[in-house]
Amino acid sequence: MAGIEVKQFDSPDETRPFADKGQAKVVNLGEGSALRGTFEPGWRWSEHMKPLAGTDSCQSPHLLYCLSGRMKVVMDDGTEAEVGPGAAARIEPGHDAWVVGDEPCEVVDFGASASYAKQQ
């Protein structure tokens, strides 16, 4: 394997739709991957991803950077946070999340599980 690998989200290895409310562009990098998610206004994990995941809350970890828009995250234990432009966040499994406001939320996620938003 080469010592450096560069890929562009403009030509992803895979695109995963979020029902009718956005998508994830995935680039595979060695044994890992990076995901650029665009979450449209009205997107909510418990409505748009729960049926795909088959779990009561999101069980994927996330290590992300927010490019634009805002997202509210509520952990299963009730802990809450809001992520906005320029923020970096680590989110453990066991949460719900939704877009806040009328602007799409765009994030780059380096920590999502390999199966996040993947059709089974």
Determine the pLDDT at residue 81.
Answer: 98
What whole-number distance in Å separates Cα of residue 108 and Cα of residue 14? 15
Going by the DSSP 8-state scheme, the letter that residue 60 receives in this structure is -
Q: How many Cα atoms are found within 13 Å in the side-chain-facing hemisphere of 85?
A: 4
Is the separation of the CB atoms in 105 and 68 below 8 Å? yes
pTM over 0.85: yes
Most confident region among 13-17, 30-34, 50-54, 71-75 by mean pLDDT: 71-75
Find the mean pLDDT for residues 1-18. Answer: 90
Q: In the chain, pLDDT over 90 holds for what percent of residues? A: 80
CA–CA dist 101, 6 (Å, integer): 33
Domains of the chain (ranges plus CATH)? Answer: 20-109 (2.60.120.10)
Placement of tokens 């809450």 in the chain: 80
pLDDT tens figures, 66-94: 999 999 999 999 999 999 999 999 999 99
Predicted pLDDT of residue 59: 95
* H or E segment to which residue 86 belongs: none
